[in-house]
Structure 1
Amino acid sequence: MSFGQGGPPWGPGDGSPQGRQPYGQQQPHGRQGPATPDWEALATASEARGRKRRWALLGGGAVATVAVAALVATLVVRANSDDPKASGPIGGVSSSSALPEDTTAPAPSFSEVAPPPPPDPKEFVSSAEKDKAPLTAESLYPGRKLTVGDRVYAKGALHRTAECASGTQGALGQVLTKHGCEQLVRATYRRDGVAVTVGVATFRTAAVAAEVKEESSGNIASLAGEGVPTFCRTTVCRSTANAYGRYVYFTVGGFTNGDRVTKQDRAVFTTGDDVAEFTLRQIHRRGVAQASRAAATQ
């Protein structure tokens, strides 16, 4: 039982309910008189219970007041705090969970079709079907001189013919005719008593040109004129043969005074190599120019 709030709710008398009495006011044990209500005791007990309820209500109200005050203080502190974590949304929701940005804008699209590769210049000089640019002696060997590094070569005579065998010596004419030579362009360059004639023969395809290069024998005929005397007709000279695409280009070089060429005559070798390299570059330029025009129309 609670101290100061009476004894057992049931007395030892006749079994009738008895109100709770304050401490020290309990009825003595044993038989009692007639069951007359103790009005004073009932009033005292009722007053005690009323006080208890009032204290309970007051205590609960105080607790609620303290809780509300604590919540308000917490909100004020969170609102005034410089800590970014403290200023986040109530309930522990991270500020990073903001609404997503507008995603209605269409995403960029990219074509899945790869652009075609640039045309190969060599392809345009490998067959007569694609190699349509005009070919002349002047377009292949322009200007009045050829400069390679510190070496300057004066240009001599030029010649172009569809009778390819007429510009050859030995068995080379037969090889050109056999494989259907279309034309033969020749040019001569000279420097310090050395002269070189270069001849360019064209065929239908690169495959035919490769066969001509492998089967070639004899020489291209040297081209005199424009200050260059006849050379390399009755003496030993250096000759070469190369192919690029449908073009086969030959050189024959030696001394303008008729001397024999030996392996030690570096000037003859250098002149022939310079003229042959220039010829290769000119043929390649034809391919580049035609490939560029084709790319522009794609």
Structure 2
Amino acid sequence: MSFGHGGPSGGPGGSRTPDWAALAEESAAKSRRRKWLMIGGGVLATAAVAAVVATAVVSTGRGDPEAATSASALPGPEELPPESAEPAPSFSSVAPAPPPDPMDFITDEKTDREPVTVEGFFPGRKLTSGDRVHLKGPTARTTQCASAANSALGAVLTRHGCDELIRATYTRDGVAVTVGVAVFSTEAEAKKVVEEATGGMASLSGGGVPAFCRTGVVCRRTTNSYGRYAYFSVTGFTDGRNVTKDDGPVYTAGDDLTNFTFHQIRHRGEVQASAAASAATG
């Protein structure tokens, strides 16, 4: 068997020398392909990130369709509403006047114009105070004020120009109270009577109420004033007993009636103050 040189390669049992130049060129080509693949992948990744950001920005704008335009898309002059021909409202800088004081209407006969009547001071047939009911008995009205008081108080009433005296008697459980209102022209006259008062107003009986608190009997008496009115009370037992400091029902009955009388006088002022306020506001 003979062996030849340079025979065809790749045959079974064949042998040849490697082509080093071709191998080097092939290796270089592979390296270049890997480099370009890496660069291309980076570009694609960058593009993908940019697309995500752009999508997020677009999505944010879609969340509030007016958000993208409200700041910049202001209406032009032609889109603004026309100016109104109506004058703008104005407000006074002057503080409103305070409401009238009821006392201002009952300190002088020139401002106290409500009629003076028995029913105006002592209305109805009874007075209820809490759980206590006082039945109204006789009433009286006189322009001779001294005739409805003992001599000492009568002289004081006359001296300070008492115009008239109105009285009413109330009873409850054997206790009787006569309360009276003396009318004067001014508040100063009424106050003078209270300062100088001695003695007391005469009790008023009749109409089923027996005489009470007459001469020689101890009773409770009070004197006060409000506005141009002086008001009095005399309270005692209908059976003629003397009143002592321990007789609570006598004091309670007297307080009920004098408090009521005070509020009736004040009510005159309130009625007139309310009417004045309504007239002022039209």
TM-score, length-scaled by structure 1: 0.67
Cα displacement (A) at 1:210: 1.4
CA–CA distance in 2 between the matches of 1:232 and 1:81? 98
**Residue 245 of structure 1: CA displacement?**
0.6
103 and 112 in structure 1: CA distance in 2 versus 1, 3 angstrom threshold: farther
Question: 1:281 deviation in Å?
Answer: 1.2
Structure 1 CA distance for aligned equivalents of residues 76 and 254 of structure 2: 78
The structural deviation recorded for 1:137 is: 1.2
Moved more, 253-262 or 108-117: 108-117
Matched, 1:140 2:117: no
More helix by share: 2
- Structure 1 position 118 matched with structure 2 position 99: yes
1:104 to 57, 73, 83: 83
Name the SS for the 2:156 alignment partner. helix
Matching residue within 218, 226, 236 for 1:254: 236
Counterpart CA distance in 2 for 1:181 and 1:86 is 85
- 1:95 is matched with 72
Residue 83 of structure 1: how far off its partner (Å): 7.8
SS in 1 for 2:146: helix
The structure whose RCO (Cα within 8 Å, separation 6+) is larger is: 2
Pick from 209, 217, 222 the counterpart of residue 228 of structure 1: 209
Amino acid at match of 1:186: R
Map of 1:280 onto structure 2: 262
Aligned to 2:252: 270
- Unaligned regions of 5+ residues in structure 2, if any? 1-53
Aligned-partner Cα distance in 2 for 1:96–1:252: 88
CA gap of 1:96–1:282, structure 2 versus 1, over 3 A, is: farther
| Matched residue count | 219
Counterpart-to-counterpart distance in 1, 2:126 and 2:183: 24
The two structures, once aligned, show a CA RMSD in angstroms of: 2.7
- 1:117-155 Cα offsets, whole Å, 9 max, x none, are 222112111110011111111221121111111111111
- The question of 1:219 aligning with 2:200 is answered yes
1:1-298 alignment runs, 5 A limit: 81-82=61-62, 87=68, 95=72, 104-105=83-84, 106-233=87-214, 234-298=216-280
Q: Taking structure 1 as reference, are residues 87 and 278 closer, same or farther at Cα in structure 2, changes over 3 Å only?
A: closer
Identity over aligned pairs, percent = 55
Unaligned runs of 5+ in 1: 1-73
Choose 1 or 2 for highest CA Rg.
1
